[in-house]
Amino acid sequence: MTSTLVPGPTGPAARSGIARLAGTMARTWRANLAALPTLASLVIFAVMIVYGELTYGRIVQYNTLSNLLVNNAHLVIIAVGMTFVILTGGIDLSVGAVIAFSSVAGVMLANAGWNPWVVVVLMIGSGTAFGVGSGLLIQYANVQPFIATLAMMFLARGLASTLSTTPERLPEDSAIRSLATRFKIVDGERVDDLIVTPGVIIAILIVAAGFFVLHRTRTGRTVYAIGGSEQSAALMGLPVVRTKLWVYAISGTLAGLASVVYTARLGIAQNITGIGWELDAIAAVVIGGTLLTGGAGFVLGSVVGALVLGLMNVLITRDGGIRPEATTIITGGILLVFVLLQRVLTARGRGRSGESVPARPPESGLA
C-alpha cells in the first residue's frame, strides 16, 4: 500500500490564510501595546532584585520585602490617586503639601486631646477638601490642572508653615500609632521575618479598590474615555464634569490617607514633610506605564513603579559609595527612558492605518 502526500493549500487560499494570521497578530500587538511599559517596569524591578542580590546579598529575603512595603506604603497610596488624575490627562502637584498640612494639623489636634479617630477622619477630610478645591478650579473656573494644583500646593504648604515650623511629635500612647504596629506573618530565620502593618494593609486595599473602580465600574470607563478624548467622552453623554471632580477628590483623599499612614509610622509631623513627593508619585505612575497624555495605564503598574523607586533607595543605601543625591539623578534618567518608550510605542501603535493605542486597556490582570 502506497501513501500519497496531500499538498497544502497554495495560491490565493494560502495567501488569504497568511493575511488573516498577520492581521490577528497585528490586532493582538495593538491590543497589548499599552501594557508594554508596565511589563518593562516589571523587568527593571526584577533586574534590580537580581543585581542587588548578586552584588550586596540579602535582598531576596522577607525582611527586605517587609521594609520595602512598610516604608513605601504612603507612596503607593498617593500613586494610586495620581494614576486616576493622569489617566484623565491631568496632573496633581498638591499631594506632597497636602500631606504636610494634614500631618501637622492632625498631630497638633491629637496633642490637644482630640479623639484620635476623629483626628484621622479630619486628616483624610482635609485632603478631600483640597482635592475638591482643585477640581472646582479646573472644571468651573477653567484653570489648567497644573496651575490649579500648584495653587493648592502653595496654599497647603503655607497653611502647614502657619500652624508650625517646628517638628510636632505624636504622643507615644496615641491610638494613631497603632496603624504602624508590626505583625509577623512568616517567622523566618533570625530576624528575617515577613512583617506587615495596618498601613501596608490599607495600601493593599486601596490598590484593590483602584483596580475595581477602573476596570469594573462606569466611573473607571469614563476616566479612560476622558483621557482618550474629553470632547468625545462628552459627546457620548458620559459624566465628564462629575468624573473629573471625583478624580481630584480621590487624589486629595488618598493624600490625606497617606499622611495618616506616614505620620503613624514616624510619629512626627513637619511643615517640610512631603517636599517632592508629588514628583515621586508622578514618576511612579509613569514608570508603571501610565501615559502622561492620559487614556492608558494601570494601577498595578503604578505600584510597581513605586516599588522600583523604593528598591532603588535600598540599593543606594546598601552600596554606601553612592551619594543620596544620586537618587534624584537616577530617577530622572529612568523617567526619561520611560517617557521616550511611551512616545515610541504610541507612535507605533498608530501604525500605517492611523490607529491609536486603545484608550482603555484590555481586561487583564493588570489594572
Tens of pLDDT, residues 193-213? 788 999 999 999 999 999 999
**Beta-carbon contacts of residue 173 (< 8 Å; ≥ 6 apart):** none
Tell me the pLDDT tens digit for each residue of 17-50. Answer: 555 655 554 454 454 556 677 787 888 888 889 9
Q: Which three cell numbers stand for residue 323?
A: 551619594
How much of the chain, in percent, has pLDDT values that exceed 70? 83
Q: Structural domain boundaries of the chain?
A: 35-350
Say which CATH class 35-350 falls into: mainly alpha
Report the pLDDT value the prediction gives residue 230, as an integer from 0 to 100.
85
Report the pLDDT value the prediction gives residue 5, as an integer from 0 to 100.
52
Tell me the pLDDT tens digit for each residue of 144-177. Answer: 999 999 999 999 999 999 998 889 899 888 899 9
Place of cell 500648584: 150
Q: Which residues are bridge partners to 269 per DSSP? A: 168
- Considering 142-156, 180-194, 330-344, the range whose residues carry the highest mean pLDDT is 142-156
Report the pLDDT value the prediction gives residue 364, as an integer from 0 to 100.
43
Tell me the pLDDT tens digit for each residue of 270-285. Answer: 999 988 899 899 989 9
Alpha helices in 189-325 (DSSP H): 198-216, 218-228, 230-235, 240-266, 277-287, 299-319
Tell me the pLDDT tens digit for each residue of 52-105. Answer: 888 888 888 888 888 899 999 999 999 999 999 999 999 999 999 999 999 999
Distance CA 230, CA 222 (A): 9
User: What's the mean per-residue pLDDT of the chain?
Assistant: 83
If DSSP codes are grouped into helix, strand and coil, which group holds residue 35? Answer: helix
Report the pLDDT value the prediction gives residue 345, as an integer from 0 to 100.
64
Distance CA 312, CA 194 (A): 20
DSSP state for residue 32 in the 8-state scheme = T
Nearest to 224 by CA among 280, 278, 142, 293: 293
The secondary structure element, H or E, covering residue 161 is helix 145-163
Distance CA 245, CA 316 (A): 39
226 contacts 45 by C-beta, under 8 angstroms: no
Tell me the pLDDT tens digit for each residue of 109-130. Answer: 999 889 999 999 999 999 999 9
187 contacts 206 by C-beta, under 8 angstroms: no
Q: For the chain, state the CA radius of gyration.
A: 24
Report the pLDDT value the prediction gives residue 262, as an integer from 0 to 100.
95
**Beta-carbon contacts of residue 340 (< 8 Å; ≥ 6 apart):** none
Tell me the pLDDT tens digit for each residue of 60-73. Answer: 888 888 889 999 99
